[in-house]
Amino acid sequence: MKSSWRILLLCLLAVCRARSQPREVRIGVLGLFHPKEIILSAVDGRPLECAAGEKRWAVGEPMHVQLAGGVLRVLNPADIKVAAFSCGDGQGGATEFTVAIAGKISRRYRGTLELQAQAAELLITVEMDLEVAVASIVAAESPPHAPIEALKAQAVATRSFLVAGRGRHSNFDFCDTTHCQFLREPPRQGSPAAEAAVATRGLVLAYKGQAFAAMYSASCGGRTHSLEELGLAARSYPYFSVVCDYCHRHPEKWVARISEKDAAGLSATENSRLKLARKLGWKTVPGNSYSSRKDDGDVILEGSGVGHGIGLCQRGGAEMARKGASFQQILEHYYPNTELKQY
């Protein structure tokens, strides 16, 4: 009898832990455009209702929202001025909608929307289900025509980043750029990206029993980097340098010419590379594997690989999948000494 009660107690504790885990992520979207006006629209007749305090209104026709004098001005269905408002299905749940910035971009989302007035721009936050976010990021981040096992590996890495890397921004957990993870629209049901998310649902990477925010890059140049090599502190998983056979045989090469003055501040660290990229452009030093030589008063950098080169190499992982590797084998190769755990 005591054994039965013990099993019941353990089951209840497991349920409580599962319920305590946040199943949604808050992502700041379209911030690169520094929007001052957006157009909000419902999708395919889905309900879309907004609220600010006691004020509530349904969105039928496309709704224009402007930043005006430090507040949000909703131009239709009525002229409303508020500091912030939220939108969903009218029952406190998620729905589908599009957010457009005239002449620049229009993007569809599935979740709930929050709009806030800041001093110089609108702050747009979408709260979405974790698995919707995973599928959307896999669709945006993965190389074209990547095999399904490579997409599954990407899904696990993406989910691990979302689960363990929250709080990267003050107003939301993540942004929709490569500073966090690139995010577009949710892929259609049955698409490879959606199937990869479904097939790996809840799986994350763990090191010494703890999930960690898995990093990955487009191509590694033939060998991935450890955090120590790039002057980065290891807070959870240290990463281990591994040989990437595909990138070793087919390196993605690049050449850059910079002044000696700019080169003087460049060192073999990720922070140094990013600092120079912010000054001269993101394509100036696209990767961390390169050699340098002086030429007529300038410095020539010759390198291979795109991105920081830490963790999963997307080109290498895709090639492993084409040769028959499972997503587990891909993850074991690029994240040594880790395990898969159910979130």
User: Could you report the per-residue pLDDT of 199-215, keeping only the tens digit for each?
Assistant: 999 999 999 999 999 99
Residue 119 phi/psi, 5° resolution? Answer: -60, -45
**Residue 293 structure tokens:** 């030589």
Tell me the mean pLDDT per 10 residues along the chain, length 343.
42 42 88 96 92 92 93 87 95 96 96 94 97 98 96 98 92 94 95 98 97 96 94 91 96 92 84 87 86 90 92 98 98 98 92
- β-partners of residue 99 are 40, 107
Instruction: Say if residues 80 and 57 touch (Cβ distance below 8 Å).
Output: yes
The residue with tokens 């790039």 is: 230
Residue 332 phi/psi, 5° resolution? Answer: -60, -35
**Residue 158 structure tokens:** 């993406």
What gap in Å lies between CA 162 and CA 24, rounded to an integer?
10
- β-partners of residue 101 are 105
CA distances from 263 to 29, 229, 268, 276, 286 (A): 34, 19, 11, 9, 15
Residue 289 phi/psi, 5° resolution? Answer: -110, 105
Residue 220's nearest CA partner among 194, 239, 201 is 239
Residue 323's nearest CA partner among 66, 147, 103 is 147
Residue 128 phi/psi, 5° resolution? Answer: -135, 160
φ/ψ region of 297 (left if φ > 0, alpha if ψ in -120 to 50, else beta) reads: left
Range 291-296, long-range pairs (CB < 8 A, 24+ positions): 292/263, 292/266, 294/260, 295/257
pLDDT at 181: 96
Residue 283's nearest CA partner among 310, 264, 303, 263 is 303
For the whole prediction, is pTM greater than 0.75? yes
pLDDT at 278: 86
Is beta strand 298-304 parallel, antiparallel or unpaired with respect to 80-82? unpaired
pLDDT at 343: 83
E strand segments, 260-325: 290-295, 298-304, 312-313
pLDDT at 274: 86
> What b/e sequence results for 10-31 when a residue is b if at least 16 CB atoms lie within 10 Å of its CB, and e otherwise?
eeeeeeeeeeeeeebbbbbbbb
Residue 316's nearest CA partner among 256, 214, 245, 268 is 245
